[in-house]
Structure 1
Amino acid sequence: MNILITGGTGLIGRALIQSLNTDHIIVLTRNRKNAAKILPAHIELVSTLTDVNFDELDIVVNLAGESIVGRRWSERQKAVICQSRWQITQNLVEKIQTATKAPHCFISGSAIGFYGRQNALTIDESHQDIHHEFSHHVCQQWESIALSAQSDNTRVCLLRTGIVLASNGGALQKMLPAFKFGLGGPIANGQQFMSWIHIDDMVAVILAAIYQPMLAGAINATAPMPVNNQEFSATLSAVLSRPCFFKVPAFALRILMGESADLILYGQNIMPAKLLKNNFKFQYPSLQVALKQLLLKPDDNINNVI
């Protein structure tokens, strides 16, 4: 099986590549020298899609995109966030559409930000009452472009990804310093939901999308037990054996992050209905189990069970 991956040097991309057992993996990257230091030696690195023969591809996994929380949302940064997703997706779609023998599966990134802020309401892929804001705008167009690759020959999967928890990057790495020093705690009133997923389960979702033909369209890539921010903070503090006294007021976050603070101050209570319907088994369905696996040494985990 031949697979092309964009965003292969990112958190999810690196984990996926480590789990793939396939003949040929191609990674599209803007910096081949840097990618060569990060990725295994057997990976073929290309800097342009003209170097890829789409007639020989079986799968395309599109994970590329500028971090949505990396910087304040100036109009210029919003444009970068959008175009870093939309343009590469459009380029891939055009290659798929013009291929003589198109890849049979196109897996493209999205995010639960598609739904906009939803408070505590439990929602799944069928939810239509969308809150229109920047995160939805980004994801809606991103998904629309990807879906144009859908045909009798190509199945399209849209990964509406939640907060990916990993020990080597992502949101959890940014949270850890404050919590390790006992300075962690809920943000604002702590009632906003955080729909998360363990990195191993995230990779398993992508593998399921590759190998299970019944999976198509929007797929909520989140664990089946979302929690609000207060519970997340308390669970993380408990796993680290640290107090959870401090609160971050909303106004402080807005001063620091501007409009992008909305991603943290508001949330979505997401259920992965399509995965569950297709008998997907989460290895880490609960937050406590996920955090213990990521943050504690094996001996610590054993001591917590005894």
Structure 2
Amino acid sequence: MNVLISGGSGFLGRALSKELLERYQNNDRNMHITWLTRDSSQAHPNNVAMMTYDELATSDSHFDVVLNLAGAGIADKRWSDERKEQLLASRIKPTNALLAFINRTAVKPKLLISGSAIGWYGTQGDKPLTESSGFETDFAHKLCEEWETLALKATDDGVPVAIVRTGVVMHPDGGMLGKLLTPFKMGVGGQLGDGKQIMSWISREDWVGAAIFIMEQHLASQTDAQQGILNGENALKTDNDVSAVVYNLTAPNPVSNHTFTKTLGTYLHRPTFFTLPAALLKLMFGEMSTLLIDGQKVLPQALQDLGYEFKQPTLKQALTEQKG
């Protein structure tokens, strides 16, 4: 199987590539992974190929699955107007490059898995949200909506699309947890605002497992029964009959910020007495503070309906059981 990944060198792409290679090679099945990159000299595993965007523009390579994961971190910097443009461009440009390749290539991929985030739902407090739920309009929603809408154009070329709306990914190697470990280890970690806001999270191991599960389910979905499952309440409307669906990549047990703070403190054997008031967070981070003080209770209904079994369904398991 040939797999192309934009954003392959990132926090999620590296872990996904490693698991794909291990899983398929252990089962005596061929797996060839190519990372799409702007810098071909970038460090990468020996068993992963590299392709630049310029090379993609003229390539006649065939890929069974394309994963579109490239995009600057939404919480990495304060949301200035310039930063908002960067966040959008970092998602739109790679997606356009992949769409141009799909349109031009004679042998189409069997599936495009395209990234998004639970920010699509906007701020909705502790209201349970599944793939069929509506949204509230804010910057995060607009960013995700534009990215998703563009990715769905692959269906015009007959390529099924699976949109993965990702929650807060937990692993000590990086992401939010990687940033929090140092202050919490120093004993200065604490609650954000009133701590009641809901955090919809997923362990990196389960994110990888769910992504591969989605890939395998779609590639195997040749029977009418399976097609019915894949085009259920998580189906997205397109202008053609090609399958397009959305999955929430979140754990089934979202937690409040208060619970997250106490659980992480217990895991690290550190106190969590500090509290950062919401007013101070707004002053520090401006509009971006909504990611810290406004909650979302997003549930993985589509994954569970298809039978995916979470390896770390609770936060305590995610902190203690993940592989390095």
TM-score by length of 2: 0.86
Q: Is the Cα contact below 8 Å between 2:53 and 2:97 reproduced in 1? A: no
Q: Is the deviation greater in 168-177 or in 54-63? A: 54-63
Q: Cα deviations across residues 120-167 of structure 1 (Å, max 9, x unaligned)?
A: 111100001x11000000000100011111258422011100000111
Q: Is the Cα contact below 8 Å between 1:156 and 1:217 reproduced in 2? A: yes
Does residue 88 of the first structure (1) align with residue 94 of the second (2)?
Answer: yes
Aligned-pair identity (%): 39
Q: Counterpart of 2:155 in 1: which secondary structure?
A: coil
Aligned in 2, Cα 1:134/1:24: closer, same or farther, shift over 3 Å?
Answer: same
2:4 is matched with 4
Does residue 241 of the first structure (1) align with residue 269 of the second (2)?
Answer: yes
Q: Is the Cα contact below 8 Å between 1:55 and 1:102 reproduced in 2? A: no
1:228 is matched with 256
Amino acid at match of 1:71: K
TM-superposed deviation, 1:95: 1.7
Give me the whole-angstrom Cα distance separating, in 2, the residues matched to 1:263 and 1:64. 20
Give me the whole-angstrom Cα distance separating, in 1, the residues matched to 2:35 and 2:157. 26
Report matched runs for 1:265-280 at 5 Å: 265-280=293-308
Q: Is the deviation greater in 267-276 or in 144-153? A: 144-153
1:75 is matched with 81
Q: Counterpart of 1:223 in 2: which secondary structure?
A: coil
- Structure 1 unaligned residues grouped into runs of 5+: 298-306
TM-score by length of 1: 0.91
> For 2:154, which of 149, 155, 168 is the aligned residue?
149
Amino acid at match of 1:276: Q
> For 2:312, which of 278, 284, 288 is the aligned residue?
284
Q: Is the Cα contact below 8 Å between 2:205 and 2:322 reproduced in 1? A: no
2:39 is matched with 31
1:159 is matched with 164
Aligned in 2, Cα 1:282/1:249: closer, same or farther, shift over 3 Å?
Answer: same
2:130 is matched with 124
Give me the whole-angstrom Cα distance separating, in 2, the residues matched to 1:212 and 1:165. 24
Amino acid at match of 1:11: F
The alignment yields a C-alpha RMSD, in angstroms, of 1.7
Q: Counterpart of 1:4 in 2: which secondary structure?
A: strand
2:290 is matched with 262
Give me the whole-angstrom Cα distance separating, in 2, the residues matched to 1:217 and 1:267. 24
Q: Is the deviation greater in 40-49 or in 198-207? A: 40-49
Q: Is the Cα contact below 8 Å between 1:194 and 1:226 reproduced in 2? A: yes
Q: Is the Cα contact below 8 Å between 1:55 and 1:103 reproduced in 2? A: no
Q: Is the Cα contact below 8 Å between 2:148 and 2:163 reproduced in 1? A: yes
TM-superposed deviation, 1:98: 2.8
Amino acid at match of 1:226: P
Amino acid at match of 1:79: E
Amino acid at match of 2:294: Y
> For 1:58, which of 64, 74, 92 is the aligned residue?
64
Give me the whole-angstrom Cα distance separating, in 2, the residues matched to 1:80 and 1:228. 30
Q: Is the deviation greater in 88-97 or in 270-279? A: 88-97
